[in-house]
Structure 1
């Protein structure tokens, strides 16, 4: 009788282990392998530096427009868009829908431009611990081919505020399960390097679209003759990047990142 009870408990324990293994395998399988879908969209992120150009060379908004029109993206996330910029006029000129979110009272923020219908969009304040300059995240839902896609656009705290941008990255990562593990695109000037704790936290849930395609460093910013990669387009594992490039010009001190999805 005692042996039979031990035998039953042993089998129950083994069954529990098997069920846990199957559950974890399904999560991995769903998020990494299956459900690759065709979105046929080009996505662009760009810190336009207030349309001031490289070293404040008085670049104009028209220079920004020309670069965008040449690449013809379907979804755009712009950072350091000042409230002095006529972003409604910019959207009209590009024939795109738009949503602007200001970071606190800083007179600048992030701008979503898209050829697709915006179902919902809001600005979410990001947490601050070490920094004093407000940061904001655009959290939007757009409709593509009768499906909802979740678009996040942000500009995290400066790289000399590592506590803040790690905390902000964790906050953004926590929002993703509230939406979906699918149809997610996160883009922006994230102010951290690929070898960093915030990057490691995001890469668990999202794919780095540029790194997925390319083997080079993909530098997007130069400071004091040091090159850095701090601008990104991340996506959920169901979306497949087929091309990703960095576009540098005199229109901004940041390079744009442009990813085309299958």
Structure 2
């Protein structure tokens, strides 16, 4: 039994160090050391192991349980970026935003259009719109680029590309759209960071250990260069936010999970609408049987999130639509 407990203690300590390493994504860029960013992908598994092992030590009445429990407080905020339990959403709001990766409309442009219209959003942000034409109720202003499209009921006073994209190769893209809402201007940034371009068969493991090892190596070969590319793209988007004379709303498909380098640096100075007003799970990408939150809505402090939801009532893409409402500081 002592040997078993020693093994568990070593395992628990190792998991703790991996989780602490993940927190360094706030400081260490992928070009310097990309492996910390890799840990963010495994956060749901790591934190589950950590909690189970902590409960085991508590059950065994071991003093080490106190140490691990106290250390676990460092991971409360990272957990709330995945799963949160805020009170019921406020009914009153001034602004409703929907962000949705439409997967090039492959599962039905008309179905997407009809469902988004039912949501009756003030601003709709699409990624991977596929060059399709959408007609959303009340959208007076439209800004469409290679991969992203912004639809607004409010007047668009300026629009600028932030990251150029070659649509044929489906590279990353981001733009900024300045919108006038009730006499005040807001900067809306629609983001689609570099995709990893995985297919299910590329990551699905089987009983063949050699083939599984090859698949894992191929996955890492795709992840590391993409992390580094994200760093460059994040710097461009950050410049737009840092130089903005207006309050900012940043939303879209980051192709990155919470607690990643991308999350920490794009959310800096902004509020995560899910953390502020979300309830339950924030998982938005459903194509794999693994919890992946890669779609987000962030805002400046002058816009208070009153609700945040992932619309799982439909499957119009490999992503679910994300809906957030805000009250605007008068």
TM-score tier, shorter chain, comes to: 0.7 to 0.9
Determine which structure has the larger helix proportion and give its number.
2
Partner of residue 143, structure 2 = 99
Give 1:138 shift: 1.6
Superposition RMSD in Å:
2.2
Q: Does 1:191 align with 2:191?
A: no
The answer on whether the counterparts of 1:47 and 1:79 sit within 8 Å (CA) in structure 2 is yes
| Residues 1:151 and 1:75: Cα distance change in structure 2 (over 3 Å) | same
SS in structure 2 of the partner of residue 260 of structure 1: strand
Determine which structure has the larger strand proportion and give its number.
1
Paired positions, count:
205
CA distance in 2, matches of 1:194, 1:242: 21
Q: Does 1:136 align with 2:173?
A: yes
Q: Does 1:252 align with 2:299?
A: no
What stretches of structure 2 of length at least 5 have no aligned partner?
A: 1-91, 197-222
Give 1:127 shift: 9.4
* TM-score, normalised via structure 2 length: 0.58
SS in structure 1 of the partner of residue 255 of structure 2: coil
Q: Does 1:164 align with 2:213?
A: no
CA distance in 1, matches of 2:264, 2:309: 22
Q: Does 1:110 align with 2:148?
A: yes
SS in structure 1 of the partner of residue 282 of structure 2: coil
CA distance in 2, matches of 1:224, 1:170: 29
SS in structure 2 of the partner of residue 221 of structure 1: coil
Partner of residue 27, structure 1 = none
What stretches of structure 1 of length at least 5 have no aligned partner?
A: 1-37, 54-59, 103-108
Which 4+ stretches in 1 moved above 3 angstroms?
Answer: 93-96
1:43 paired residue among 97, 103, 112? 97
The answer on whether the counterparts of 1:39 and 1:239 sit within 8 Å (CA) in structure 2 is no
The answer on whether the counterparts of 2:173 and 2:194 sit within 8 Å (CA) in structure 1 is no
1:66 paired residue among 108, 114, 124? 114
